[in-house]
Amino acid sequence: MLVIVAPGQGAQTPGFLTPWLEDPVFEDRMHWLSAVCDIDLIHYGTQADAETIRDTAIAQPLLVASGLVAALALFPQPADAFRVIDLAAGHSVGEITAAAGVGVITAEQAMVFVRERGKAMARAAAKTPTGMSAVLGGDPDEVLAAIEAHGLIAANNNGPGQVVAAGKIEDLERLAKNPPPKTRVVPLQVAGAFHTHHVAHAVELLGRYARAITTHDPRTRLLSNRDGHVVHNGREVLERIVTQVSSPVRWDLCMQTMQDLGVTGMLEVPPAGTLTGIAKRAMPGVETFALKTPDQLDDARAFVEKHGEGSGPLDGNPTWRLLVSPMKGFFSCPDRQPVGATLEPGAVVGKVTSLRDEQPVVAPHGGTIVEWLVEDGDPLSPGQPIVRLHPVVSGS
């Protein structure tokens, strides 16, 4: 089982795009995305120094564009990707890359949205000198306690041995001088305390933009940073990306879902290395591939062929709409409607319960029940289809 992942801010390094631009098709696509977001991505990806590309307003569009264009280099015919990719996820701004990659939004929508996201977060972060630092190693409970004791927030939980603290610069400096036992504190190349209340002002603005964007449901299972759940409604995907700006990233829960599903291979798009590095420590037995340069493309395709299962659970007649399980658990539906019944928009068709959580399964657009795919009490895996609906056409 194959998962494709996209890294977040801090993964960028000076000149990382240089080898990719030897391909004229790649270069043309980067020129186009540069025009879309009105930023010279080629310059920033080849000539700019580390401090320049640390700027949030530059780093975020650069990351999303490079990931999307590299994915097209890997899958020149995008439809081929959905036959072999079983799962997709992105870390922080990488969620935009992943959402566009699985068809929730277009590449052009992604670039305009990420441009505005980067500018809004940069403005919010500029109000107070803030930053982020990775706390590596140590006891998880002691690390979280030390972060809180210094007035900081655990903005990213990236699994055992890596929690990212965020907050005011002076508080981060105090944490670095007095770290938790058996840890080291490493400042990150970001320009603010992202995924905290320090950038909450950006959420309202991005919410307005998001409401104007047309979305589609993902073409394969897509994980959310909020809780590691599979989200199969395009509108919800975008809403979660907006609110995630000021909420912690739970990459640890995303990796747990990957393991629950039986992922065997993880491929990271450029600038690659961060997420595959975490997976090597946190997901033993999962093979990783960090796609960093174009001379790796043939090996990357072989990796995809090895791990991609094909004929994913979301394949089917495009006139049907599937409702899928957001997480691992057991399905409960004591008042199940019969085949042929029409559900109103927002109707709850059941719930999924696990030891950790309970989530309703909602039909956001309503529809006519075509087929139930599970029974009351059945165990479910994340993203497993539950019921197939036929959309109700207005005026029919």
pLDDT of the residue at 332: 95
Same domain, 383 and 330: yes
Residue 396 lies in a domain: no
Residues 6+ apart with CB under 8 A from 32: none
- Domain limits for position 355: 321-390
pLDDT of the residue at 224: 97
Same domain, 288 and 182: no
Distance of CA 242 to the CA centre of its chain: 12
8 A C-beta contact, residue 339 and residue 370: yes
pLDDT of the residue at 396: 37
pLDDT of the residue at 369: 93
Whether 195 sits among the annotated catalytic residues: the reply is yes
CATH number at 377 reads 2.40.50.100
Residue 21 lies in a domain: yes
DSSP 325: -
Rounded CA-CA distance 337/194 in Å is 44
8 A C-beta contact, residue 383 and residue 221: yes
Residue 82 lies in a domain: yes
In degrees, rounded to 5, the angle at the alpha carbon of residue 221 between the alpha carbons of residues 217 and 224 is 90
pLDDT of the residue at 189: 77
Q: Which of 92, 133, 246, 325 is catalytic?
A: 92
pLDDT of the residue at 211: 95
Same domain, 105 and 7: yes
CATH number at 144 reads 3.30.70.250
8 A C-beta contact, residue 267 and residue 289: yes
Return the residue matching tokens 């015919």. Answer: 77
Same domain, 112 and 178: no
8 A C-beta contact, residue 103 and residue 216: yes
Same domain, 360 and 213: no
Same domain, 114 and 212: yes
Closest CA to 239 of 61, 362, 82, 373: 362
Same domain, 23 and 131: no
Residues forming beta bridges with residue 88, ordered by sequence position:
4, 222
Q: Which of 34, 133, 150, 195 is catalytic?
A: 195
Count of structural domains, the chain: 3
Same domain, 16 and 93: yes
Per-residue tens of pLDDT for the chain, all 396 residues: 999 999 999 899 999 999 999 999 999 999 999 999 999 999 999 999 999 999 999 999 999 999 999 999 999 887 778 888 999 999 999 999 999 999 999 999 999 999 999 999 988 888 888 999 999 999 999 999 999 999 999 999 998 889 999 999 999 999 999 999 999 999 987 878 999 999 988 999 999 999 999 999 999 999 999 999 999 999 999 999 999 999 999 999 999 999 999 999 999 999 999 999 999 999 999 999 999 999 999 999 999 999 997 545 555 444 578 899 999 999 999 889 999 999 999 999 999 999 888 999 999 889 999 999 999 999 999 999 999 998 875 443
CATH number at 247 reads 3.40.366.10
Whether 198 sits among the annotated catalytic residues: the reply is no
Residues forming beta bridges with residue 350, ordered by sequence position:
361
Residue 395 lies in a domain: no
